[in-house]
Structure 1
Amino acid sequence: MGAKRVWSTTGVVALTGALLLTSAPTASADYVRDQQWVLDAYKMDATWALTQGEGVTVAVVDSGVDGSHPDLTGQVLQGKDFTGGGNAQEDVAGHGTGMASLIAGHGHGAGNNAGMVGLAPKAKILPLRVLQNKDDNFEDDAWAEAVRYAVDHGAKVINLSLSGGRGSRTLTNGREAIAYAQAHDVVVVAAAGNDGGVSINEPAALPGVVSVGAVDNEGNLWDKSNTGEGLTLVAPGVEIVSANTNRSDGYSLDNGTSDATAYVSAAAALVRAKYPDLTAGQVINRLIKSASFLDHKGLKAPDDEYGYGILRPNKALTMNIPAGPKKNPLGQMSSSSSTSSQSSKGTGSSAKAKKRFSSGSFLVLAGGIAVVVVIGAIAFVVIRSRRNGGNGGSGPGGGSPQHPTYPPAQQPYPNSAPNQGYPTPPGQSPQHPNPYAQQPPHQGQ
Structure 2
Amino acid sequence: MSSRQVRGAAVLVLGSLLWGTTYGPAAADNIRTGQWVIDKYEAETKVWPISQGDNVVVAVIDSGVSATHQDLVGQVLPGADFSGEQSDGRVDKIGHGTSMASLIAGRGHGAKDGIIGLAPHAKILPVRVNMSPLGEVGSGGEDRIPEAIRYAVDKGAKVINMSLGGGADKKVREAIQYAIDKDVVVIGASGNTGNRGTPVDYPAAVPGVVAVGAVDRDGKVWEKSNRGPETTLVAPGVDIYSAGHQSATDYRTGNGTSDSTAYVSAIAALVRSKYPELSAGQVINRLIKSAVVPAGQQVPNDSYGYGIASPQKALAANPAVDSGPKENPLLSRAESQRQPSSASSAAPQPSAPASGATAGGNQAAEAKSDGGVPVYVWAGVGLLAVVVVGGVIVLVRRNKGGGGGQPPYGGGGAPQQQFPQYPPQQPYGAPQPPQPPYGGHQQYPPQPGGDGGGNPYR
TM interval, short-chain normalised? 0.7 to 0.9
| Amino acid aligned to 1:183 | D
Report Cα offsets for 1:224-256 as digits up to 9, x if no partner: 001111210000000001100226851011111
The alpha-carbon deviation at position 6 of structure 1 amounts to 5.7
Aligned to 1:316: 314
Report Cα offsets for 1:68-108 as digits up to 9, x if no partner: 00000000001010112222111000000000000000100
The structure-2 alpha-carbon separation of the partners of 1:412 and 1:60, relative to structure 1 and needing over 3 Å to count, comes to: closer
Give runs of aligned pairs for residues 415-426 of structure 1, distance below 5 A: 415-419=449-453
Q: SS at the partner of 1:305? A: coil
TM-score (norm 1): 0.75
**1:355 matched to 2:338:** yes
Aligned to 2:151: 149
| Amino acid aligned to 2:108 | G
Report Cα offsets for 1:372-422 as digits up to 9, x if no partner: 899xxxxxxxxxxxxxxxxx9754689989851344345565442233xxx
Aligned to 1:107: 108
Aligned to 2:456: 435
| Amino acid aligned to 1:418 | G
The alpha-carbon deviation at position 356 of structure 1 amounts to 2.9
Which residue, 177, 180, 183 being the options, matches 1:179? 177
Aligned to 1:98: 99
Contact (CA 8 Å) 1:289, 1:407: kept in 2 or not? no
The alpha-carbon deviation at position 170 of structure 1 amounts to 1.1
Q: SS at the partner of 1:61? A: strand
The structure-2 alpha-carbon separation of the partners of 1:40 and 1:370, relative to structure 1 and needing over 3 Å to count, comes to: farther
| Amino acid aligned to 1:161 | S
Contact (CA 8 Å) 1:256, 1:367: kept in 2 or not? no
Contact (CA 8 Å) 1:235, 1:264: kept in 2 or not? yes
Report Cα offsets for 1:248-306 as digits up to 9, x if no partner: 851011111000000000000000000000000000010011101133x1x32211110
Report Cα offsets for 1:11-64 as digits up to 9, x if no partner: 67x845xx8x9xxx97234x1000000000001012111111000000000000
Q: Distance in 1 between matches of 2:53 and 2:175?
A: 25
| Amino acid aligned to 1:182 | I
Contact (CA 8 Å) 2:228, 2:302: kept in 1 or not? yes
| Amino acid aligned to 2:245 | T
Q: Distance in 2 between matches of 1:250 and 1:70?
A: 9
The alpha-carbon deviation at position 191 of structure 1 amounts to 0.5
The structure-2 alpha-carbon separation of the partners of 1:397 and 1:122, relative to structure 1 and needing over 3 Å to count, comes to: farther
Decide which structure has the larger Cα Rg and report it.
2
Contact (CA 8 Å) 1:237, 1:257: kept in 2 or not? yes
The structure-2 alpha-carbon separation of the partners of 1:109 and 1:175, relative to structure 1 and needing over 3 Å to count, comes to: same
Q: SS at the partner of 1:277? A: coil
Aligned to 1:116: 115
Q: SS at the partner of 1:76? A: coil
Report Cα offsets for 1:286-330 as digits up to 9, x if no partner: 0011101133x1x32211110010000111001424211110111
Aligned to 2:366: none
Q: Distance in 2 between matches of 1:314 and 1:191?
A: 22
Q: SS at the partner of 2:144? A: helix
- What are structure 1's unaligned runs of at least 5 residues? 332-343, 346-350, 375-391, 420-432, 439-445
Contact (CA 8 Å) 2:291, 2:446: kept in 1 or not? no
TM-score (norm 2): 0.73
Give runs of aligned pairs for residues 30-429 of structure 1, distance below 5 A: 31-45=30-44, 46-87=46-87, 88-110=89-111, 113-131=112-130, 133-135=132-134, 136-137=136-137, 141-164=143-166, 169-196=167-194, 197-246=197-246, 249-295=249-295, 297=296, 299-322=297-320, 323=322, 324-331=324-331, 344-345=332-333, 355-357=338-340, 360-361=343-344, 364=348, 395=427, 403-409=437-443, 414-419=448-453
The alpha-carbon deviation at position 176 of structure 1 amounts to 1.0
The structure-2 alpha-carbon separation of the partners of 1:26 and 1:282, relative to structure 1 and needing over 3 Å to count, comes to: closer
Q: Percent identity?
A: 50
Q: Distance in 2 between matches of 1:149 and 1:26?
A: 34
The structure-2 alpha-carbon separation of the partners of 1:79 and 1:15, relative to structure 1 and needing over 3 Å to count, comes to: closer
- What are structure 2's unaligned runs of at least 5 residues? 1-9, 359-423
Q: Distance in 1 between matches of 2:293 and 2:104?
A: 23
Contact (CA 8 Å) 1:216, 1:222: kept in 2 or not? yes
Contact (CA 8 Å) 2:64, 2:129: kept in 1 or not? yes
Contact (CA 8 Å) 1:151, 1:186: kept in 2 or not? yes
The structure-2 alpha-carbon separation of the partners of 1:124 and 1:372, relative to structure 1 and needing over 3 Å to count, comes to: farther
Contact (CA 8 Å) 1:158, 1:265: kept in 2 or not? yes
The alpha-carbon deviation at position 435 of structure 1 amounts to 1.8
Q: SS at the partner of 1:218? A: coil
Q: Distance in 1 between matches of 2:251 and 2:160?
A: 24
Q: Distance in 1 between matches of 2:33 and 2:307?
A: 26
Contact (CA 8 Å) 1:62, 1:128: kept in 2 or not? yes
Q: Distance in 2 between matches of 1:369 and 1:234?
A: 25
Aligned to 1:380: none
Contact (CA 8 Å) 1:300, 1:409: kept in 2 or not? no
Q: Distance in 1 between matches of 2:280 and 2:431?
A: 23
